[in-house]
Amino acid sequence: MDRRPLGSSGLTVSAIGLGCMGMSEFYGKADDAASLVTLGAALDAGIDFFDTADMYGSGDNERLLGRFLNGRRDKVTIATKFGIERKPGTYERRINNSPDYIAQACDASLGRLGIETIDLYYAHRVNPAYPIEETVGAMARLVEAGKVRYLGLSEVSAATLRKAALVHPITAMQSEYSLWTREPEVDVLAACQALGAAFVAYSPLGRAFLTGRFRTADDFGQGDFRQFLPRFQGEALARNLKLADALAAFAAAKQATPAQVALAWILAKQPHVIPIPGTTKAARVAENAAAAAIRLNTGEIDVLDTLFVPDAVTGERYTPEGMKGVGT
């Protein structure tokens, strides 16, 4: 597995990480036993950058990782997040960036993870009611206390990222980025590069849509929130399937899977971008890890860029509730 710098921290991580959200919520019923096997398979494949958050499964995802980390702490770089408050079993959220809450959330995450220090701590979403300077200042105090090593932000604008970096170095910026979600190319990717911050791409496979697995709304099981997302509904889904089919044809010619091509495209775009595809299956971990060895030439990248121009994608990526706290 290739390695990439985690911003200007001096730390390197696997070029492809692992998003752990779906192991505990949002994509169906959790299976901790299977997820522990998958986490082990990821580490065996050279993936050592694991991403979680306190709101995934109302803390269950951090507890799951805590079980896995027992005896393996020095082998894994752990990123977690604070800022989204939800009642268990609901999607409605409140964005909380108060300094007191940040301190409490960090202590709670440390307890669930069973570790002494969080490697990378993100503000999951930013509430404009709290100045970003105040939020990052509170996060910086966690670094001073030895509870956190490096700071990150998620789904903020380039302007907010620049303001934050004046208070404390921002090691990583996390946002959705894939062939069918390319907004970060407008200015956020360049801002990260200029500030020496890594860009961590979540949902790099379009919530598995780019794999070609989903063809109709009936393909989503009970408890899968994708059935409510605009891109997976009705006419939008029908139009977007043409993009998935085009990617599948490209991948077949490349003797790769659509998922591998989608990840290889991200890796080819910028050296400071780290995709973190999520999965609950060990076989998918191996497939995703193999994408790090796939090389796309300039012509191939141009073909994919043209196929997936932003205007070709139909539908918003979240519901209005899910867009709360997403910067533009």
- Cite the active site residues: 56
Per the CB < 8 A criterion, the answer to whether 109 and 118 are in contact is yes
- How far is 164 from 325, CA to CA, in rounded Å? 16
Q: List the structure tokens of 93.
A: 């959220």
Range 53-72 burial, b when 16+ CB lie within 10 A, else e: bbbbbebbbbbbbbebbeee
What is the β-pairing status of strands 84-86 and 93-95? antiparallel
Per the CB < 8 A criterion, the answer to whether 126 and 296 are in contact is no
- How far is 125 from 327, CA to CA, in rounded Å? 8
Kindly give the interhelix angle for 99-113 and 132-144, rounded to the nearest 10 degrees.
40
- How far is 238 from 210, CA to CA, in rounded Å? 13
